[in-house]
Chain A
Amino acid sequence: MKIVQQSFKCLALAILMFLPTSIFANNATQDGGQINTKEKVDAYIQHHIKDSHDFTFFSYTNDAGERKHVGFALPVIIWSSEGLVTFMSSEFHHNDDGTVVVEKDGLKFVKSHSKIYELEAGAKTVAFDEEHHVTNGKRLLDFSITKSVFGILLISALLFFWFFRLAKQYKKRQIPTGFGRILEPLVIYVRDEIAKPNIGDKHYRRFTGYLLTVFFFIWFLNLAGLTPLGFNVTGQLAVTACLALFTLVIYAVSGNKDFWQHILWMPGVPYLIRPVLAVIELVGTFVIKPFSLLIRLFANISAGHVIVMSLIAIMFVLKDSLGVAGATGLSFMLAVLIMFIEILVAFLQAYIFTMLSALFIGMAVAEHDHEHEHTASGLEIPDEEDIRGDFV
């Protein structure tokens, strides 16, 4: 009975994955869209690193020399000069250099480098300057369900499904079964190794939910980025910026009196230096900390994607000098090697993001239940937990 149920689930998932799959034809690339030069590899990687408006599993060139993409279109939702406009991304026909113009509600839209522009009134085609920036259109606020948003929805739904089931199992018989047995130690790990030691026994309960959510969200999105589905969600600056902003808001809102006092008017420091230090502390708290969080995650994951794709590209680029077997073997070996490191990095970055978030929150809610000791000259003798602040 259980097996039947499981098979049904798998089948349903498979159907769900391939039902909207359609094959688009795109004649834009003359040489069949094959990528085998350094420049094209570079362009391809740059394209992959960016967000995409449609979901492509893979592309191939058929006998007629047409480029075919296997995947499905995603909805485009943009805030234009006339208000909200929605259409399916299939209307761009996988074009990404602005040559295909979509007309909706009397407005013309083009897509260039994964960004959608609204052409000025009267313009028929898109025009570029030397640096390939669009000159006769304006960039729009793009609320589309892009590939990244799709990834976020997918992973969120998956995580919610798993943990909701785990919660239900606890209600029923107190002991998790199946996949829950893997998730439970991870939950306990985040709670006991990240939240508790960094925030403190008294306050950690309030923030554990956020830390757990962020940890699993980042980790599984990182892992999803390593699958052939080709998500690069945590390598999107907007996504990491949002995550960092959440941490910033949480520690700024929950910061207690001591925290603000130590930022704005720190005790035990000569009065003349206090404003200078306050500026430094403010910049550190509101700019450097979140910025380091968002840049670290973004750069690590983007760099990982670039490295893996570059190593795979060795296959094509070095084909002439090393031979097919040599280039493929070298690329395969290096790619496998770096893939293992990337799996580690996927976990490590989630861990570090969560860890630093917990650390920052912990610094904001830390209670100094004793007055600081001061030397005769008025200098503060830092107590033990304050040393953590020196690292940041």
Chain B
Amino acid sequence: METLLNDFSPGLFAVQTVLLLLFIFLMVKFAWKPILGSLNEREEGIQGALDAAEKAKREMANLQADNERLLQEARLEREAMLKEARELKSKMIADAEAEAQSQANKMIAQAQEAITNEKKAAMAELKSHVAGLSLDIAEKVVRNELSNKDKQLQLVEDMLAEATLN
């Protein structure tokens, strides 16, 4: 202890105190402040970048979900549209078919009517024609028959013969 106290130099202590004070002041002012400031800034920057990345990721996910939803909606819409179109198509076909059917039916009916009318007309004409012809033939036959008296008499004879008055 004595040697220790003997070796203790108050002058060195004083010099060291002054130098250390100066050194701490200089280091804090010119070195540690800017260094720690920059380190903090950098760490905050890194933290900020990480946060931003996280945020971007979340936004991306949101966007993706949005897209998915939109896509889903579009798909549904498309399906609905397709369904509608299909329905429309079948309806149109059915309508067309029905109309065609009715048209055809109508035409057939008209045709049948026309045919019937024609037939009737033809029949009537035929009848009148046949009647005329029959009259003509009958006239001719009668005329022919009546011109030959013998024959007539013969015939009457034949017929009388046949018609036995029993």
Closest to B16 in A: A242
- Which residues of chain B are near A142, meaning CB under 8 Å? 9-12
Complex Cα gap A164–B26 (Å):
10
Complex Cα gap A241–B42 (Å):
37
A143 on interface, CB distance cutoff 8 Å: yes
B-contact bits for A206-218, CB 8 A (1 contact / 0 none): 0011101100010
Size class of the contact patch on chain B: 20 to 34
- Which residues of chain A are near B16, meaning CB under 8 Å? 148-149, 152, 238-239, 242
A148-B12 contact, Cβ under 8 Å, with A167-B31, A187-B35, A212-B32:
yes
Complex Cα gap A164–B32 (Å):
9
- Which residues of chain A are near B26, meaning CB under 8 Å? 160
- Which residues of chain A are near B39, meaning CB under 8 Å? 170, 184, 187-188, 191
* B1-45 interface with A by 8 A CB criterion: 4, 7-17, 19-20, 23-24, 26-28, 30-36, 38-39, 42
A238-B30 contact, Cβ under 8 Å, with A143-B15, A245-B17:
no
Grouping DSSP codes into helix (H, G, I), strand (E, B) and loop, the A interface class, with mixed when no group exceeds half, is: helix
Whether B35 and A159, one on each chain, are in contact in the complex, defined by CB atoms closer than 8 angstroms, is no
A144 on interface, CB distance cutoff 8 Å: yes
Whether A50 and B7, one on each chain, are in contact in the complex, defined by CB atoms closer than 8 angstroms, is yes
Whether B4 and A163, one on each chain, are in contact in the complex, defined by CB atoms closer than 8 angstroms, is no
Max chain B CB contacts within 10 Å: which of A143, A148, A153, A167? A167
- Which residues of chain B are near A104, meaning CB under 8 Å? none
Q: Which of B8, B19, B27, B34 is within 8 Å of A241, CB to CB?
A: B8
Complex Cα gap A212–B15 (Å):
21
Complex Cα gap A140–B12 (Å):
11
User: Closest CB of chain B to A351's CB: distance in Å?
Assistant: 18
A198 on interface, CB distance cutoff 8 Å: no
A171-B34 contact, Cβ under 8 Å, with A149-B12, A188-B39:
yes
B-contact bits for A152-187, CB 8 A (1 contact / 0 none): 110010011001101110110010000000001001
A209-B24 contact, Cβ under 8 Å, with A171-B38, A188-B39:
yes
- Which residues of chain B are near A166, meaning CB under 8 Å? 31, 35
A101 on interface, CB distance cutoff 8 Å: no
A-contact bits for B85-115, CB 8 A (1 contact / 0 none): 0000000000000000000000000000000
Whether B23 and A241, one on each chain, are in contact in the complex, defined by CB atoms closer than 8 angstroms, is no
- Which residues of chain A are near B4, meaning CB under 8 Å? 237
Q: Which of A51, A143, A163, A238 is within 8 Å of B35, CB to CB?
A: A163
Whether B8 and A209, one on each chain, are in contact in the complex, defined by CB atoms closer than 8 angstroms, is no
- Which residues of chain A are near B24, meaning CB under 8 Å? 209-210, 213, 246
User: Closest CB of chain A to B29's CB: distance in Å?
Assistant: 9
Whether B17 and A242, one on each chain, are in contact in the complex, defined by CB atoms closer than 8 angstroms, is yes
* A132-147 interface with B by 8 A CB criterion: 140-144, 146
Q: Which of A149, A163, A241 is within 8 Å of B32, CB to CB?
A: A163
Whether A174 and B38, one on each chain, are in contact in the complex, defined by CB atoms closer than 8 angstroms, is yes
A209-B27 contact, Cβ under 8 Å, with A174-B38, A242-B20:
yes
Size class of the contact patch on chain A: 35 or more
Whether A209 and B32, one on each chain, are in contact in the complex, defined by CB atoms closer than 8 angstroms, is yes
Complex Cα gap A191–B4 (Å):
34
- Which residues of chain B are near A148, meaning CB under 8 Å? 12, 16
Closest to A156 in B: B23
Complex Cα gap A205–B12 (Å):
31
- Which residues of chain A are near B31, meaning CB under 8 Å? 160, 163-164, 166-167
- Which residues of chain B are near A168, meaning CB under 8 Å? 34
Whether A167 and B11, one on each chain, are in contact in the complex, defined by CB atoms closer than 8 angstroms, is no
User: Closest CB of chain A to B104's CB: distance in Å?
Assistant: 90
Whether B9 and A51, one on each chain, are in contact in the complex, defined by CB atoms closer than 8 angstroms, is yes
- Which residues of chain A are near B11, meaning CB under 8 Å? 78-79, 140-144, 238
A238-B10 contact, Cβ under 8 Å, with A164-B31, A210-B24, A246-B20:
yes
Complex Cα gap A237–B1 (Å):
12
Whether A238 and B8, one on each chain, are in contact in the complex, defined by CB atoms closer than 8 angstroms, is yes
Q: Which of B19, B30, B33 is within 8 Å of A149, CB to CB?
A: B19
Closest to B12 in A: A238
Max chain A CB contacts within 10 Å: which of B10, B35, B36? B35
Q: Which of B8, B9, B17, B23 is within 8 Å of A213, CB to CB?
A: B23
A236-B9 contact, Cβ under 8 Å, with A156-B19, A163-B27, A209-B28:
yes
- Which residues of chain B are near A152, meaning CB under 8 Å? 16, 19-20
Complex Cα gap A67–B36 (Å):
51
Whether B12 and A160, one on each chain, are in contact in the complex, defined by CB atoms closer than 8 angstroms, is no
Q: Which of A160, A237, A238, A242 is within 8 Å of B27, CB to CB?
A: A160
Instruction: For the complex of A and B, list the 3 residue pairs with the smallest distance between their C-beta atoms, beginning with the closest.
Output: A142-B11, A163-B31, A170-B38
* 5 extra A-B contacts, CB within 8 A, seeds A167-B34, A187-B35, A239-B12: A50-B7, A149-B15, A170-B35, A208-B36, A238-B8
CB<8 Å pairs between A and B, sample of 27: A50-B7, A79-B11, A142-B10, A142-B11, A142-B12, A143-B15, A149-B16, A153-B19, A160-B30, A163-B32, A163-B35, A164-B31, A166-B31, A168-B34, A187-B35, A187-B36, A209-B24, A209-B36, A237-B7, A237-B9, A238-B8, A238-B12, A238-B16, A239-B16, A242-B13, A242-B17, A246-B24
